[in-house]
A and B are shown apart, each in its own frame.
Chain A
Amino acid sequence: MRTTVPIVTAFIAGFVLVVAFFFRGSTLIGSLRDEFTAWITIIGGFTLALGVASIIRVNWTAVARRKRDWPYKILTLVAVLGMGIPSVLPVSWSSLLGNTPGSIYDWLFEYMQKPMMATMFATLAFYIASAAYRAFRARSPEATLLLVTATLVMLWRVPMGEAFLNLFPGDVPEWLNTYVMGGANMAVQRGIIIGAALGAASMSLRLILGIERMYMGKG
């Protein structure tokens, strides 16, 4: 019961979605596909709640058991409730509630979360610069070709570098865009895309037919 029902469900859902592609939209199977597609967005949406609940639980137990950094975890919980609760309350009570522009929820996102997330990823530029100096070595012919191409592209993509490349005879930027980006790079990306597409299709097939049961977890 615990394994056959899920496997049959996955098979029917997948089978309908695959077969409906080959038939006119206004058939029974076409309508079934549309309803199933809408259901994915509803049922799947609750998996977001799983993520929310598990993070709250991890932080809650860390605080309750005074684990390492537990005072900071209190801040996380305060932030969760500080943003979560006002958004759930009806906007009819006050314009500060709900999730529309002008609400606490919207303000916290626009003026706290957005700049913070942008800054978190901006630090990557520092790591790349330091790794550029201490780790990127032309230790093999292949790595050399990689670094030479990377340097040319880095020059080409910034105004000062592009001006420098234009000092050379011929249209170097146009050559880089046509033969490197649109030529060798495009061809390799296409090869990788085809390989990855076959991999994804293989995983999907195994999932529909119940060969792949990773999502079932233990037991």
Chain B
Amino acid sequence: MTCFRLSAVVLSLAALYPEVSWAQDQADPLFRADRINALVLVLVFSAAILLYTRWARAGKPLFLRRIPGLDAVEEAVGRATEMGRPVLFIPGIQELDDIETIAGVSILGRVAKITAQYETPLMVPVRYPLVLAASQEVVEQAYTEMGRRDSYDKDTVRYVAGEQFAFTATVNGYMMRERPAANIYMGAFFAESLLLAETGNAAGSIQIAGTARPEQLPFFIAACDYTLMGEELYAASAYLSREPVMTGGLKGQDFIKMIIVVLVIIGVVLVTFGMGDWFVHLFEEV
């Protein structure tokens, strides 16, 4: 109810503006019928996202395929356990309000469960206080869930200097000293990603990365053993956390993606046989 009352106030307020004149191009049609295709897309899209989010909230089992990158993560942590060497996890170098950092922290939760189970030493350097708090919470919760509350070490998650290259130098120093068996980089990374991956390579660690930054992906793919690409990072964290809003959003987008694939196939077939112009024109944006 509140939003109707409030919108009434806003509308009346709008009437006060002297510069608002409605006498301009009266000739044009009131409703932009030429943008029907956009209206249909917006409505279908919104319906898909909202429906899937409601189903996810209601606990309906929504299938998400397992992301191969997660198997690589578990395999790497397993290897670290066999060799009795630590696991290094970096949830990106951005603040907590960056979506990639949130995805990184939720994957940290998964890794922490495995290291808790096998009592493998875990080191998580972070750059911002908010990320520190969120990561500590996630790691502690993982250790508690695995019944290893006692072996949870408070400074697993460590706050390292804020500046980008100072942070990298400190982490590189740790890599060369401790020689972790597995380095996992999940989140937003920039130029320092090269320095981290290079030092990790020199230290002989298995390296797995995940980021959505397009300009960093090619370097991570060339430098790491496995890389989660763009959306896979979000899909992995949704797969793990089953968080309703994230899962609903992902499933809704998948549904629209499949409609787009089908429509494009129909379009290509029709146009190839020379009778597709009317169909292609449906998607004309004006």
Contact residues of A with B, CB < 8 Å?
4, 8, 11-12, 18, 21-28, 31-32, 35, 121, 124, 127-128, 130-131, 134-137, 139, 142-143, 146-147, 150, 192, 194-196, 198-199, 201-203, 205-206, 209, 211-212, 214-215
CB<8 Å pairs between A and B, sample of 18: A12-B6, A22-B39, A24-B28, A26-B21, A26-B25, A26-B26, A127-B194, A127-B198, A130-B194, A135-B194, A136-B222, A137-B201, A142-B221, A146-B221, A194-B257, A195-B257, A199-B231, A203-B249
**CB-CB under 8 A for A136 and B223, given A25-B24, A127-B191:** yes
Complex Cα distance, B95 from A215, in Å, reads 13
Q: Is B197 an interface residue (CB 8 A)?
A: yes
Q: Let me know if A198 and B22 touch, CB within 8 A.
A: no
Q: Which of B41-49, B79-87, B145-153, B269-277 contacts A (4 or more CB under 8 A)?
A: B41-49
Q: Let me know if A194 and B260 touch, CB within 8 A.
A: yes
Name B10's contact: one of A12, A121, A146, A192 (CB within 8 Å). A12
**CB-CB under 8 A for A124 and B191, given A8-B2, A23-B30:** yes
**CB-CB under 8 A for A199 and B234, given A25-B24, A124-B191:** yes
Interface core residue of A22, A24, A135, A215 (most chain B CB under 10 Å): A135
List the 10 closest pairs (A to B, CB-CB), nearest first. Answer: A26-B24, A135-B223, A136-B222, A131-B194, A135-B198, A31-B20, A198-B253, A127-B194, A135-B201, A202-B249
**Which chain A positions have C-beta within 8 A of B223?**
131, 135-137
Interface core residue of B10, B21, B26, B222 (most chain A CB under 10 Å): B222
Query: Interface size bucket, B side?
Result: 35 or more
Complex Cα distance, B260 from A68, in Å, reads 55
Q: Shortest beta-carbon distance, B122 to chain A, in Å?
A: 24
Q: Is B97 an interface residue (CB 8 A)?
A: yes
Q: Shortest beta-carbon distance, A3 to chain B, in Å?
A: 12
Q: Shortest beta-carbon distance, B207 to chain A, in Å?
A: 9
Q: Let me know if B191 and A11 touch, CB within 8 A.
A: no
**Which chain B positions have C-beta within 8 A of A212?**
245
**Which chain B positions have C-beta within 8 A of A202?**
45, 49, 249, 252-253
Complex Cα distance, B245 from A26, in Å, reads 37
Q: Let me know if B230 and A195 touch, CB within 8 A.
A: yes
